[in-house]
């Protein structure tokens, strides 16, 4: 065979090899049958070989050997463990880039404002992507928010992140608090904010309710907050019924119809808005509020005006009860 012919064959082979390399490395990867992303979990300590096997087994790369070679050349073996969502048809080059950068799947855990610490711990412990077991933190110790976590995170550390977020926010808000508040410590602010949080579902009412409670504290009046009674009876779990006279008469450290000042601990985990409301309340002379039948409250500065608002609320309750009885009879 002449040298020219041999050279031509080698050139063809080289071109074919480069084309194959380009197809396997730079070209589209395998298409998932379901058309969406494929979840692949890369375990810690598996090394390039283990990563390559996992990706090949998941059907997202065509060549395990080529992946190992190119990962060593381009990523320097610095591949990060974790959970990845590989898009259908992702190139091998793209996968190596994703795993090298550690762009793992982020899961979300949402802790609503007003949840107790037990409820928050239950939610964290129920998250299937996390490991370990978290104990409930002290009441009011975490900041309600939506948190990003990734598979394999420790549940106790997730709770600690929530505590750190609350501590950081509380420190900043306490430093900017209004003067002459009837609150001696940041912890007292959290306790009052937790009561404000549980008293209304209307964000715009929080500052006004905070002002009422702080006016009552300054005047030496009891807070007389229903949510504190509920917490003393059930540790914050819903009663499933209205508050009874027996509940109001129950002597717990949280019953603000019977104790003076604040209860010994928060009754829930207040959010940012409730904390801001307590630490910078509006200046008002209001001392009372009662439900108004629309989901909100009627506020008043005098006991006489408050009694009128209460009478209106009692009438609304009677009308609703009568309507419910009529509907039941019609069935």
Mean pLDDT (the chain) is 88
Structural domain includes residue 321: yes
254 and 324 part of one domain: yes
One domain, residues 98 and 225: no
pLDDT at position 3: 60
Tokens for 117, please give them: 């610490």
Q: Which two tokens stand for residue 29?
A: 């990867």
- Of 234, 195, 186, 226, the closest CA to residue 114 belongs to 195
CATH for 61:
3.30.1490.480
Count the Cβ atoms, other than its own, within 10 Å of residue 220: 9
pLDDT at residue 18, rounded to an integer: 44
- Residue-wise pLDDT for 146-199, tens only, equals 999 999 999 999 999 999 999 999 999 999 999 999 999 999 999 999 999 999
* Residue 317 pLDDT: 79
Chain segment 190-225, per-residue pLDDT in tens = 999 999 999 998 999 999 999 999 999 999 999 999
Regarding whether 207 and 68 lie in a shared domain, the answer is no
pLDDT at position 304 over 80: yes
Same domain (yes/no): 121, 238: no
Would you place residue 24 in the very low, low, confident or very high pLDDT band (cuts 50, 70, 90)? low
CA angle 27, 77, 92 (to 5 degrees): 10
pLDDT exceeds cutoff 60 at 80: yes
Percent of the chain exceeding pLDDT 70 equals 88
For the cut 50, the answer to whether the pLDDT of residue 13 exceeds it is no
Domain count, the chain: 3
The range of the structural domain enclosing residue 50 comes to: 35-105
Tell me, yes or no, whether 224 and 317 share the same domain. Answer: yes
Residue labelled with tokens 């949280």: 254
Q: Which is more confident, 257 or 66?
A: 257
């Amino acid at each position: 065979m002449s040298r020219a012919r041999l050279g031509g064959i080698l050139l063809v082979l080289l071109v074919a090899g480069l084309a194959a390399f380009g197809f396997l490395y730079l070209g589209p990867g395998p298409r998932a049958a379901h058309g969406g992303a494929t979840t692949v979990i890369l375990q810690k300590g598996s090394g390039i070989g283990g990563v390559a096997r996992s990706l090949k087994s998941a059907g997202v790369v065509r060549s395990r050997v080529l992946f190992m070679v190119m990962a060593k050349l381009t990523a320097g073996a610095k591949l990060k463990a974790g959970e990845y969502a590989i898009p259908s048809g992702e190139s091998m080059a793209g996968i190596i880039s994703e795993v090298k950068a550690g762009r793992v799947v982020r899961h979300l855990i949402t802790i609503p404002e007003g949840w107790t610490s037990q409820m928050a711990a239950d939610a964290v412990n129920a998250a299937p992507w996390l490991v370990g077991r978290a104990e409930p933190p002290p009441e009011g110790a975490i900041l309600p928010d939506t948190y990003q976590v990734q598979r394999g995170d420790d549940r106790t550390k997730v709770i600690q992140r929530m505590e750190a977020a609350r501590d950081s926010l509380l420190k900043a808000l306490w430093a900017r608090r209004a003067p002459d508040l009837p609150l001696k410590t940041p912890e007292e602010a959290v306790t009052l904010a937790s009561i404000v949080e549980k008293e209304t579902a209307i964000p715009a009412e929080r500052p006004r309710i905070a002002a009422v409670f702080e006016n009552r504290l300054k005047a030496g009046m009891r807070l007389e907050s229903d949510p504190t009674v509920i917490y003393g009876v059930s540790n914050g779990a819903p009663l499933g019924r209205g508050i009874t006279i027996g509940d109001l008469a129950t002597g717990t450290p949280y019953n603000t119809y019977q104790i003076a000042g604040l209860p010994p601990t928060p009754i829930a985990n207040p959010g940012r808005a409730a904390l801001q409301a307590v630490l910078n309340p509006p200046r008002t002379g209001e001392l009372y509020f009662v439900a108004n039948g629309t989901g909100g409250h009627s506020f008043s500065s005098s006991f006489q005006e408050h009694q009128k608002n209460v009478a209106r609320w009692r009438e609304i309750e009677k009308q609703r009860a009568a309507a419910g009885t009529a509907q039941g009879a019609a069935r």
